[in-house]
Homo-oligomer: A and B are copies of this chain.
């Protein structure tokens, strides 16, 4: 294989995150991987509710539909909510990964009791529902919010202090043994949390890139029996 071409779809209508995701991915990708980051032209600027998820999902699918198997080897939907993940798999013959699912399965290989730090209180119930839909909620006893909206995530010091405090409560009170930073934009602060609390901290975006490279390398994609090709239907 000459190169592995991965298209990253940031499912929000702002280019605010493109450069940092691109830069982070460039740093950790395999040499032969070629990363290409796009965002949505339309839809919400942030995904913080199931309402936002639904408003972004169809735009994600339009982007996925445009990605031809001859041009790309895998697709990453870069949002912990995994908007449109199942639908995208249905219409795609190359691997489609969501940073939520990929990081959750990965964390289960690191520790028994996993926890998720999310952005705001509004996200706790919807993440819980996703874990349950995957049949893995028994391994995720706790989800706690930072209570910082995602668009304020460039205030790194504030986010860092808050994340450390919440993580400490999760380790000491909830018995968390491995932690996921449940937001694509927390990138870069995992080491400090891991160092201070002595548990592995998973950064979903990075993990998912490696997951994608792995699938491509193995020549595997999601099961078309779990994500069957949709019957054609007229769209108005």
Q: Which A1-56 residues have a C-beta within 8 angstroms of B?
A: 13-14, 28, 30-31, 40-46, 48-55
The residue from B28, B108, B202, B218 contacting A207, defined by CB atoms under 8 A apart: B218
Is the Cβ of A135 less than 8 Å from the Cβ of B125? no
State which size class the interface on A falls in.
35 or more
Give the copy number.
6
Known: A43-B235, A136-B135. Is A223-B110 also a contact (CB below 8 A)?
yes
Known: A226-B125, A228-B121. Is A109-B105 also a contact (CB below 8 A)?
yes
User: How would residues 123 to 154 of chain A score, 1 for a CB under 8 Å from any chain B CB and 0 otherwise?
Assistant: 00110111011111011000000000101000
Minimal Cβ-Cβ distance residue in B for A210: B214
* Cα-based distance from A40 to B222 in the complex (angstroms): 31
Tell me the minimal C-beta distance from A40 to chain B in angstroms. Answer: 8
Minimal Cβ-Cβ distance residue in B for A57: B54
Minimal Cβ-Cβ distance residue in B for A143: B175
**CB neighbours of A54 from chain B (8 A):** 54, 57-58, 60-61, 83-84, 87
* Cα-based distance from A106 to B233 in the complex (angstroms): 31
**CB neighbours of A87 from chain B (8 A):** 49-55
Is the Cβ of A223 less than 8 Å from the Cβ of B177? yes
User: Does A63 touch B at the CB level, under 8 Å?
Assistant: no
Is the Cβ of B133 less than 8 Å from the Cβ of A46? no
Is the Cβ of A225 less than 8 Å from the Cβ of B210? no
A residues touching B (Cβ–Cβ < 8 Å)?
Answer: 13-14, 28, 30-31, 40-46, 48-55, 57-58, 60-61, 83-84, 86-88, 90-91, 97, 101-102, 105-106, 108-113, 120-122, 125-126, 128-130, 132-136, 138-139, 149, 151, 171, 176-178, 198-200, 202, 206-207, 210-211, 214, 217-218, 220-231, 233-236
Known: A109-B211, A135-B132. Is A228-B122 also a contact (CB below 8 A)?
yes
Tell me the minimal C-beta distance from A234 to chain B in angstroms. Answer: 4
28 sample A-B contacts, Cβ–Cβ < 8 Å, listed by A number: A30-B30, A43-B235, A43-B236, A46-B233, A49-B87, A49-B231, A51-B88, A51-B230, A52-B233, A86-B129, A101-B109, A108-B134, A109-B211, A111-B223, A112-B128, A112-B129, A120-B231, A125-B177, A125-B227, A129-B133, A132-B134, A132-B135, A133-B133, A134-B139, A136-B139, A151-B233, A200-B222, A210-B218
